[in-house]
C-alpha cells in the first residue's frame, strides 16, 4: 500500500491492489506526536454490551462506486464511520461547540440535538456550547450552553435554535475564539459554502498545531453536495413541496384551461423539482437549471402547454428557482449577491407566469387561467419528517464517533447507504447536479412525457446552445456527471444522445 499526502489540500490517499484507493481523512495524530489514547467508554456502556461488532474495524472502508465491471478498478473508497475501540479524548477533556450556517433546512435542530445527546449519553461529555448565528457568532456573540435537557424537544421545531447567517467567515477570528475558549471539538452544520469555511478552519487549526477536531455535517435542501447519497432535509422538502403541487393541481383542474405554476428551491441543482415531480404524478412539466428550455416555436414550452391543455384541459408546471435564468436575464439584469457571495436569482416563477399569460393573450386562440404558487421558504422552514429525523440522528452520532476517535477535517455522509468520513475537499470541489444524460432524468421525462427541449439537428437532438445557462458550466465547460452513476445511454459522436436510444432505456436496473 502506498500513502501519498500533501499538496495544498493535504490529501491522504492510500492505494492497494486491484486499483483500490482510500481517500482518507486527516487525524489529529498526523500533526501532533505521541497523543495518548483511551478505551472507548462505550465498551462499558450496558446499552452496547450485547451488540456484537459494534466497533468499526480500523480497515473498514466504503466504495464510492457499487456498479463495477469485471476488469474495472475497485475505485475510490471512504473511511467507514462509527465508534472505534480507542478514543483520543478523555471524557472530562472534551469541550465541544456546534454552529449552523447558511440557509435553513429541515432537520437542523435534530442534528444539534443528537450531537448534544450523543456526546453526553455515549461519551459522558458535559461541556457543549452552541455558537449563536453562524460563523460570525464565534467572535461577535455570546455562546449558548447546551445539554440534553435544553435540546430535548427541539427536533419538533423548524429552523435552528442556534440561529444561522451568511457571510462573516473570518478564519483568524474564528480560530482565535476556538483557541481562547479551549474548544477542542467543532461541529459545523451547513451547505457547500459552510464546508469550505470548515475546511479553512481545519487548515488554520492544523497550522497552529491545536488538538481540535473539526467535523462537518452537510446540510442543504438543494441536495447539491457531491459524493453523498442524499443530504438531510431533502426528503422533507420534497414531501412539503407536494402540498404546493397539490394546490396547483386542484386550482388548475377546477377551471377551463387551468395552469398551475409552482416554483421550488434549487439554485444550481434541480433535485427538489425533479423528485417532487416524480413523487407527485400531477406535474406535466418540470423545468430545472440543468436542462435548458425555450418558449417559442417547435418543441418549445408554449407549444407543449397548448398540446397538454387540448388533451387534458389543465396542466401543472414545476420550475426550480435556478431554471431559465439566462432567459430571465434577457429582460431583467441583476448581478446582486448575498452576504456569502452567492448570486441572487430573479424570480423565474413570476417571470414565466407573465410570459405564459402574455403569450396566450396575444395569441387569442385559447383563454387560460394561471395560478402561480411560490412555496419557497415553506418547504425548508418545517421540522424534519420521520425518515430525515433518523438520517439526522445517524449523521450526528457518526460525527461524534469520528471526532472522539481523533479524526478531523472530515464531513460525515452516506455513501451507498453506509456512513462515511469524507475529506472536505471531496465535498467542496464541485456541486452535485442533475445529470440530464442520466437515467433519473430520463425516468422523469418518461413520467411527465414533457419535451426534452432539444432541437433536431441532422436527425440528432441537441440543446439550443445559446440557451445553456453559462453559470452552470464547470471550469472546463463540461458538467461533471455524479461519478457513481452510470450514464443511462451511450453517447453519440458529438456527445449528444439519440432519441431512439433513450426509448430503449433498460429500466430493470434500479
Ligand atoms: N470559500 C469559502 N471560504 C470560507 N468561508 C466560506 C466560503 N464560502 C462560504 N463561506 C462561509 O460559509 C457560510 C455559509 O455559506 P453560504 O451562505 O454559501 O451557505 P451554504 O453553507 O452554502 O448553505 P446553503 O445551502 O444554504 O447555500 C457563510 O458564513 C460564508 O461566509
Ligand atoms: O434566501 P436565503 O435564505 O438566502 O436562501 C435561499 C437559498 O437557500 C437555499 O435554500 C439553499 O439552502 C437555496 O435553495 C436558496 O436559493
Ligand atoms: Mg451553498
Among 100, 101, 225, the mutation site with the greatest number of ligand 1 atoms within 8 A of its Cβ is 101
| CA distance readout (Å), 320 to 108, 113, 303, 352 | 23, 31, 20, 12
Residue 458 located in a structural domain:
no
Q: Which of 480, 486, 483, 493 is nearest to 442 (CA)?
A: 486
Ligand 1 and 127: CB distance under 6 A: no
State the CATH number of the domain containing residue 319: 3.40.50.460
This complex has an ipTM of: 0.98
Comparing C-alpha atoms, which of 251, 271, 249, 284 is closest to residue 321? 271
Q: Which of 380, 415, 440 is the last residue of a domain?
A: 380
Domain range enclosing 65: 13-229+384-428
Instruction: Tell me the C-alpha to C-alpha distance, in Å, between residue 169 and each of 99, 138, 245.
Output: 12, 9, 37
Q: CB 268: neighbour CB atoms within 10 A? A: 24
Q: CB burial class (10 A; 0-12, 13-18, 19+) of residue 181? A: middle
Residues 79 and 189 in one domain: yes
Instruction: Tell the residue nearest (CA) to atom 4 of ligand 1.
Output: 197
Residue 195's CATH number: 3.40.50.450
What is the pLDDT at residue 478? 33
Distance, CA of 187 to CA of 323 (rounded, Å): 33
- Which ligand neighbours the alpha carbon of 105 most closely? 2
pLDDT tens across 180-198, in order? 999 999 999 999 999 999 9
Q: pLDDT tens-digit profile of 92-126?
A: 999 999 999 999 999 999 999 999 999 999 999 99
Q: 255 φ, ψ to 5°? A: -130, 165
| Contact present, 109 and 161 (Cβ < 8 Å) | yes
Indicate if ligand 2 lies below 6 Å from the C-beta of 219: no
Q: Domain boundary residue among 369, 398, 428? A: 428
Q: Answer yes or no: do 373 and 406 share one domain.
A: no
Q: Do 242 and 210 fall within a single domain?
A: no
Same-domain status, 298 and 159: no
Tens of pLDDT, residues 207-233: 999 999 999 999 999 999 999 999 999
Residues 124 and 206 placed together within one structural domain of the fold: yes
Query: Mean pLDDT across the chain, nearest whole number?
Result: 88
Same domain, 20 and 168: yes
Query: What is the distance of C-alpha 252 from the center of its chain?
Result: 32
Q: Which ligand is nearest to the CA of 222?
A: 2
Q: Is residue 502 one of the residues assigned to a domain?
A: no
> Among all chains, which residue has been given the C-alpha cell 473508497?
77
Same domain (yes/no): 267, 219: no
pLDDT tens for 430-485 read 999 999 999 999 999 999 999 999 865 555 566 554 443 333 333 333 334 344 34
Closest CA to 224 of 146, 321, 311: 321
Q: Cβ(220) to ligand 2 under 6 A? A: yes
Half-sphere exposure of residue 419: CA atoms within 13 angstroms, side-chain side: 21
For residue 283, what is its C-alpha cell? 406535474
The rounded percent of the chain whose pLDDT value lies above 90 is 76
Domains in the chain, number: 2
Catalytic residue among 24, 132, 192, 222: 222
What's the rounded Cα separation, in Å, for the pair 223 and 226? 8
The average pLDDT across 52-79 equals 89
Residue 356 lies in a domain: yes
Q: What does the angle CA 358 – CA 359 – CA 363 come to, to the nearest 5 degrees?
A: 115
Q: Is the torsion defined by CA of 192, 196, 197, 198 positive or negative? A: positive
- Examine the domain organization and report whether 70 and 118 are in the same domain: yes
Amino acid at each position: 500500500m502506498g500513502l501519498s499526502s500533501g499538496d495544498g489540500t493535504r490529501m491522504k490517499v492510500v492505494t492497494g491492489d486491484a486499483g483500490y484507493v482510500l481517500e482518507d481523512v486527516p487525524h489529529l495524530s498526523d500533526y501532533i506526536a505521541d497523543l495518548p489514547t483511551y478505551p472507548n467508554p462505550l465498551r462499558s456502556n450496558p446499552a452496547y454490551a450485547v451488540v456484537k461488532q459494534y466497533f468499526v474495524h480500523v480497515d473498514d472502508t466504503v466504495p464510492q462506486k457499487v456498479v463495477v465491471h469485471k476488469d474495472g478498478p475497485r475505485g475510490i473508497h471512504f473511511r467507514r464511520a462509527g465508534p472505534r475501540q480507542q478514543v483520543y479524548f478523555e471524557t472530562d477533556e472534551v469541550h465541544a461547540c456546534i454552529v449552523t450556517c447558511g440557509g435553513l433546512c429541515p432537520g437542523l435542530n435534530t442534528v444539534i440535538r443528537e450531537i448534544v445527546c450523543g456526546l453526553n449519553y455515549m461519551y459522558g461529555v458535559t461541556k457543549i456550547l452552541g455558537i449563536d448565528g453562524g460563523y460570525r457568532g464565534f467572535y461577535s456573540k455570546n455562546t449558548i450552553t447546551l445539554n440534553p435537557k435544553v435540546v430535548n424537544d427541539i427536533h419538533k421545531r423548524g429552523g435552528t435554535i442556534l440561529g444561522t447567517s451568511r457571510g462573516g467567515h473570518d478564519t483568524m477570528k474564528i480560530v482565535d475564539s476556538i483557541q481562547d475558549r479551549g474548544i477542542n471539538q467543532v461541529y459545523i452544520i451547513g451547505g457547500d459554502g459552510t464546508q469550505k469555511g470548515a475546511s479553512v478552519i481545519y487548515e488554520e487549526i492544523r497550522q497552529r498545531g491545536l488538538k481540535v477536531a473539526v467535523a462537518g455535517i452537510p446540510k442543504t435542501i438543494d441536495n447539491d453536495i457531491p459524493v453523498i447519497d442524499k443530504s438531510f432535509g431533502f426528503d422533507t422538502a420534497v414531501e412539503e413541496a407536494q402540498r404546493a403541487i397539490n394546490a396547483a393541481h386542484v386550482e388548475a383542474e377546477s377551471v377551463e384551461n387551468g395552469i398551475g405554476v409552482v416554483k421550488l428551491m434549487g439554485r444550481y441543482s434541480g433535485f427538489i423539482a425533479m423528485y417532487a415531480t416524480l413523487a407527485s404524478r400531477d406535474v406535466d412539466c418540470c423545468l430545472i437549471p440543468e436542462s435548458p428550455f425555450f418558449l417559442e416555436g417547435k418543441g418549445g414550452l408554449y407549444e407543449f402547454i397548448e398540446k397538454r391543455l387540448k388533451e387534458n384541459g389543465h396542466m401543472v408546471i414545476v420550475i426550480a428557482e435556478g431554471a431559465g435564468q439566462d432567459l430571465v436575464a434577457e429582460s431583467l439584469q441583476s448581478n446582486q449577491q448575498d452576504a456569502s457571495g452567492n448570486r441572487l436569482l430573479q424570480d423565474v416563477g413570476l417571470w414565466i407566469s407573465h410570459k405564459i399569460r402574455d403569450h396566450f393573450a396575444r395569441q387569442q386562440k385559447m383563454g387560460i387561467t394561471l395560478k402561480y404558487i411560490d412555496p419557497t421558504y415553506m418547504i425548508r422552514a418545517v421540522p424534519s419528517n420521520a425518515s430525515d429525523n433518523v438520517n439526522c440522528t445517524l449523521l450526528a452520532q457518526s460525527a461524534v464517533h469520528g471526532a472522539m476517535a481523533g479524526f478531523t477535517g472530515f464531513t460525515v455522509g452516506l455513501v451507498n447507504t453506509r456512513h462515511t468520513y469524507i475529506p472536505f475537499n471531496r465535498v467542496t470541489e464541485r456541486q452535485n447536479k442533475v445529470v440530464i444524460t442520466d437515467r433519473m432524468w430520463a425516468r422523469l421525462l418518461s413520467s411527465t412525457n414533457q419535451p426534452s427541449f432539444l432541437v433536431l439537428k441532422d436527425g440528432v437532438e441537441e440543446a439550443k446552445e445559446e440557451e445553456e445557462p453559462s453559470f452552470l458550466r464547470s471550469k472546463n465547460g463540461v458538467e461533471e456527471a455524479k461519478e457513481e452513476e452510470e450514464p443511462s445511454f451511450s453517447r453519440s459522436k458529438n456527445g449528444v444522445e439519440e432519441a431512439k436510444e433513450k426509448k430503449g432505456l433498460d429500466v430493470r436496473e434500479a
